């Protein structure tokens, strides 16, 4: 049987991972500065993670959401404590798109409205409602375009205010830091005014922290530099370090009722074991502090490189605008320097999303390679 051919592939097959490195069949070692799309948070094959998942699967891998599962509460308690969002309620699902799908659905259940405000260059997933509020018409099928949405300028409150004032907006969905769009940080004052306006006009504020959350930015959630309380926060990626798990944090003003949301696989035993192990390691190894310290060090080093047009980022979520398409440079970094990097929807922006366990040593390895590779393109 043929695979449905939708992915462009690098000719490399990692078969083993350890910390911030992956290895191919021949044993070649690659430094991972992409974390498989920001997924690897605590590092590949972390021993605590391996142990927790192995123990769980040998006891009980799955049973349905029709029976008690205390692992879900353990995960909720740890997540509440580490994120300082104790008062929120947790609903677990399996992916980022599914988290946003549930967030949008809950918003519409809550206020009965359907119009959604989103932002230019946003990415919120590929399922029906999530893709409809994603600023990329090429990945929206006609069946996805079922409710009204608007894409506003990033960090520009004026047009958002004008739209919210009409009173017909169901929800505003925003990434704390735009990821796929090329690493753009939501300004503190913008988020604070956005939150105030949403409250005033009864629109639900959804913070998409699927890529920027789970301490990647140096905050647990990247919006936390602003004094706001989002209505719903969506999470996935780093939450399971590769195990498929997603979720939404729901403000206490939303009341649950039986059957309002649901899923077969979401919150299963194995996913919870993975999610708990990730939080254990984030706490025990001080990964929030590490992301901030190493991120600051990294950003400073990158700013010193001649030829880099702009460095944007927070913690270990970094975008480099090189002023030329980065496609070939990524290949050189991978095939010559054995370093994985990421792209974005802006062809000139290189996206760096390493495991949150990296230290200055790995940054220095990256910098040495980058300083060698970049001039090849500047001269061209």
CB of 184 to ligand PLP, least distance (A): 12
**Maximal CA-CA distance, the chain:** 63
Contact 238, 37 (CB under 8 A): no
SS3 of 129, please? helix
Find tokens 């580490």 and name the residue.
Answer: 82
Residues in contact with 353: Cβ distance below 8 Å, sequence separation at least 6, in sequence order: 33, 34, 35, 37, 38, 179, 211, 216, 316, 317, 318, 342
Q: Which is nearer to ligand PLP, 208 or 362 (CB)?
A: 208
Q: Which is nearer to ligand PLP, 35 or 218 (CB)?
A: 35
Per-residue x/- marks for ligand PLP, 12-41, CB under 6 A? -------------------------x----
Q: Which residues, numbered 209-228, are part of the site for ligand PLP (CB under 6 A)?
A: 210-211
Residue among 32, 101, 135, 175 that touches ligand PLP (CB under 6 A): 175
Per-residue x/- marks for ligand PLP, 352-371, CB under 6 A? --------------------
| Residue 346 binds ligand PLP, judged by CB under 6 A | no
Residues in contact with 317: Cβ distance below 8 Å, sequence separation at least 6, in sequence order: 38, 177, 179, 183, 211, 212, 216, 217, 222, 295, 352, 353
Rounded to an integer, what distance in angstroms lies between the CA atom of residue 32 and that of residue 352? 9
Q: Which residues, numbered 225-264, are part of the site for ligand PLP (CB under 6 A)?
A: 236
| Residue 180 binds ligand PLP, judged by CB under 6 A | yes
Rounded to an integer, what distance in angstroms lies between the CA atom of residue 224 and that of residue 255? 24
Q: Which is nearer to ligand PLP, 33 or 370 (CB)?
A: 33
CB of 100 to ligand PLP, least distance (A): 6
Q: Which is nearer to ligand PLP, 127 or 195 (CB)?
A: 127
Exposed, middle or buried, 192 (CB in 10 Å: 0-12/13-18/19+)?
middle
Q: Which is nearer to ligand PLP, 219 or 370 (CB)?
A: 219
Q: Which residue is nearest to ligand PLP (CB)?
A: 96
Rounded to an integer, what distance in angstroms lies between the CA atom of residue 330 and that of residue 351? 10
CB of 258 to ligand PLP, least distance (A): 26
Q: Which is nearer to ligand PLP, 107 or 374 (CB)?
A: 107
Find tokens 């629109």 and name the residue.
Answer: 203
Determine which helix (DSSP H) or strand (DSSP E) holds 127, and give its type and residue range: none
| Residue 97 binds ligand PLP, judged by CB under 6 A | yes
DSSP-assigned beta bridge partners for residue 339: 31
Q: Which residues, numbered 114-153, are part of the site for ligand PLP (CB under 6 A)?
A: 123-125
CB of 304 to ligand PLP, least distance (A): 29
Binding site for ligand PLP (CB under 6 A): 37, 95-97, 100, 123-125, 175, 179-180, 208, 210-211, 236
């Amino acid at each position: 049987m043929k695979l449905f051919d939708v992915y462009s592939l690098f000719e490399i097959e990692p078969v083993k991972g350890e910390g911030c490195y992956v290895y191919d069949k021949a044993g070649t070692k690659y430094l991972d500065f992409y974390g498989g799309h920001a997924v690897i948070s605590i590092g590949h094959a972390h021993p605590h993670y391996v142990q927790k998942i192995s123990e769980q699967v040998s006891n009980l891998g799955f049973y349905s959401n029709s029976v008690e599962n205390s692992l879900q509460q353990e995960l909720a308690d740890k997540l509440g404590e580490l994120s300082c969002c104790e008062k929120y309620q947790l609903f677990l699902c399996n992916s980022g798109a599914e988290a946003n799908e549930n967030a949008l659905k809950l918003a519409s259940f809550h206020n009965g409205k359907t119009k959604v405000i989103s932002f230019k260059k946003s990415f919120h997933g590929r399922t029906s409602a999530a893709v409809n509020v994603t600023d990329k018409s090429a990945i929206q099928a006609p069946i996805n375009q079922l409710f009204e949405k608007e894409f506003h300028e990033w960090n520009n409150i004026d047009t958002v205010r004008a739209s919210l004032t009409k009173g017909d907006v169901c929800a505003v969905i925003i990434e704390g830091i735009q990821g796929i769009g090329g690493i753009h940080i939501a300004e503190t004052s913008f988020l604070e005014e956005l939150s105030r306006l949403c409250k005033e006009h009864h629109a639900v504020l959804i913070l998409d922290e699927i890529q920027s959350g789970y301490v990647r930015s140096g905050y647990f959630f990247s919006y936390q530099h602003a004094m706001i309380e989002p209505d719903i926060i969506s999470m996935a990626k780093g939450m399971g370090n590769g195990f498929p798990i997603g979720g939404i944090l729901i403000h206490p003003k939303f009341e649950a009722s039986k059957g309002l949301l649901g899923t077969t696989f979401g919150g299963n035993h194995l996913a919870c074991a993975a999610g708990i192990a990730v939080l254990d390691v984030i706490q025990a190894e001080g990964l929030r502090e590490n992301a901030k310290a190493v991120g600051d060090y990294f950003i400073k080093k990158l700013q010193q490189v001649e030829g880099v047009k702009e460095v944007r980022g927070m913690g270990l979520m970094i975008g480099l605008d090189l002023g030329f398409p980065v496609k070939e440079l990524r290949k050189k970094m991978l095939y010559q320097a054995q370093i994985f990097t990421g792209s974005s929807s802006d062809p000139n922006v290189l996206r760096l999303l390493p495991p949150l366990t990296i230290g200055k040593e790995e940054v220095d390895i990256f910098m040495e390679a980058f300083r060698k590779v970049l001039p090849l393109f500047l001269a061209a």
